Amino acid sequence: MKIIHCADLHLDSKMESNLSRAQAEERRQELLDTFSRMVAFAEDNDVRIIMISGDLFDRAETRKSARKHFLQEISSHPDIDFLYLKGNHDQDDFLENIKESDIPKNLKRFSSESWTSYSYEEDGNEIVITGRELNDRNAQIFTSNLILDPASLNIVMLHGQIVQGELTRNSIRLEDLKNKNIDYAAMGHFHSYFTEKIDERGVYCYSGCLEGRGFDECGEKGFVLLDVGKSISQRFIPAARRKMHELIINVTPEMTMRDVYSAMESASNGISRDDLVKFVMTGKTDIDIDVNRALTRFTDRFYFVKISDETGVYINYNEFKNDRSLKGEFVRLLQEEDIPDDEKSRIVEAGIRAILGEDIIE
C-alpha cells in the first residue's frame, strides 16, 4: 500500500510581503495547484491514502474558492482516503457550515478529545493510522492513553514540535512517544523535511510544506511517499512550483562594487529563473552598497529578487594611531588598556562612530 504524508499546506496563505499584488495572487493560486499536482501524483501512482498532518489552511478567513477547490479534489478522487488532522493554524473547522451530506465520504477526521484510528489491510498486514489533535487542554496528558497493538503496523498522525525535556506551546515530548509501538509518526508543524528515530521500532518524520512562502522556508519542499507492506519505507518527493533561496554574500574591505556583483553572480549561478532569491550582504566595507542598482541588475533573472544590506562600516583603526585629533587620542588610550583584542576592536569602532556622529547599532 502506498500512502502520502503531507503537512503545513497553508492553502490560501498570504505570501512573501514584498511581492507585487499580481505575484502574490499567482503564488496563492500556485499553492492550490501544487496540492492538485500532489493528488494527481497519488492517482497516477496508486496511492491509497493521503495524510494531512495539520495546518491545511493558514487562517480562519480563507476564501470560499480555496475551500471549494480542496473539497472538489477530494470528491473527484473517491478511491483515495484523505485523513485530515487539524494543526495550530486550523483554528476553526472550515467544514462547520457545510452540510454533513456535502462532506466527501473519503474525508476522514480526528479530534482533540480522544485518539481516533482508521484500519486498513494490505497482503494480510493490518495497517492502523491513529491521530489526535493537540491543544492547550490536553498537552500534558497527550499520549498517556495512546495504546497501539504491537502486531499491527502503526502510523500515528500528530501536529507539533517534538522536543526533549520540558513542554512548550505546540510541543510533544519525544520520551512520550517511545515504547508505544509506533512504526511511523507522520508529523506536521516543522516546515522542512526531517526524519529521526523514536526508538528501536519507529521513526518520526516531518514532511515539510509543499511550497515555500517566505525566505524562512528556503530549500526543497514537497511530501513523503510511504510504501507500506511488512514494514514502512519512505521517500521524499519534491513538489514545489518554485523554490526560495537565501544567499549570503560576504563583503570584505578589499571588494569593489564590481566584485560584489561578481560574488552575487557566482552565488546565484544555476538557480532557476522561476525561483525567488534573497541576497543578504554581510561583512564590513567602506563602500556604499547600492541596493537599488543591484536590484536592477538581477531583477530580470528570477521570478522575484530581494536584497538585504546587513554590512557594517569598515574602519582602519591604524590610520588614527598618529592622528593628532580626538579620534587618535581615543585609539592610543584604548590600546594601553588590558582588554581582549576582539572587545577592544568593538569599543574602538563604537567610539570612532560616536566621534564621527554616526549611529551606534548594538
Residue 316 to residue 321: CA distance in whole angstroms: 10
Q: Cβ(2)–Cβ(46) under 8 Å?
A: yes
> What is the mean pLDDT of the segment spanning 10-26?
89
> What is the mean pLDDT of the segment spanning 250-269?
95
> What is the mean pLDDT of the segment spanning 10-23?
88
Is it the case that residue 362 has pLDDT exceeding 50?
Answer: no
Residue 34 half-sphere exposure toward CB, CA atoms < 13 A: 28
Q: CA 218 from chain center: how many Å?
A: 7
Is it the case that residue 181 has pLDDT exceeding 80?
Answer: yes
Considering the chain, what percentage of its residues have pLDDT values greater than 90? 66
Residue 38 to residue 53: CA distance in whole angstroms: 15
Q: How many CB atoms lie within 10 A of CB 265?
A: 12
Is it the case that residue 250 has pLDDT exceeding 60?
Answer: yes
> What is the mean pLDDT of the segment spanning 275-295?
91
Residue 188 to residue 159: CA distance in whole angstroms: 4
Closest CA to 86 of 64, 107, 65, 63: 107
- Tell me what the pLDDT averaged over the chain comes to: 89
Query: Could you tell me the pTM of the whole model?
Result: 0.86
Q: How confident is the model at residue 332 (pLDDT cuts 50, 70, 90)?
A: confident
> What is the mean pLDDT of the segment spanning 289-314?
91
Q: How confident is the model at residue 186 (pLDDT cuts 50, 70, 90)?
A: very high
For residue 361, the model assigns a pLDDT of 44
Is it the case that residue 270 has pLDDT exceeding 50?
Answer: yes
2-6/222-228 β-pairing: antiparallel
Dihedral angle, C-alpha 177, 180, 182, 187, nearest 10 °: -20
For residue 117, the model assigns a pLDDT of 97
| Residue pLDDT, tens place only, 116-166 | 999 999 888 899 999 999 987 887 777 888 999 999 999 999 999 999 878
Residue 83 to residue 50: CA distance in whole angstroms: 6
Residue 294 to residue 327: CA distance in whole angstroms: 34
For residue 96, the model assigns a pLDDT of 72
3-state secondary structure the chain: CEEEEECCCCECCCCCCCCCHHHHHHHHHHHHHHHHHHHHHHHHCCEEEEEEECCCECCCCCCHHHHHHHHHHHHCCCCCEEEEECCCCCCCCCCCCCCHHHCCCCEEECCCCCCEEEEEEECCEEEEEEECCCCCCCHHHCCCCCCCCCCCEEEEEEECEEECCCCCCCEEEHHHHCCCCCCEEEEECCCCCEEEECCCCCEEEECCCCCCCCCCCCCCCEEEEEEECCCEEEEEEECCCCCEEEEEEEECCCCCHHHHHHHHHHHHCCCCCCCEEEEEEEEEECCCCCHHHHHHHHHHHCCEEEEEECCEECCCHHHHCCCCCHHHHHHHHHHCCCCCHHHHHHHHHHHHHHHHCCCCCC
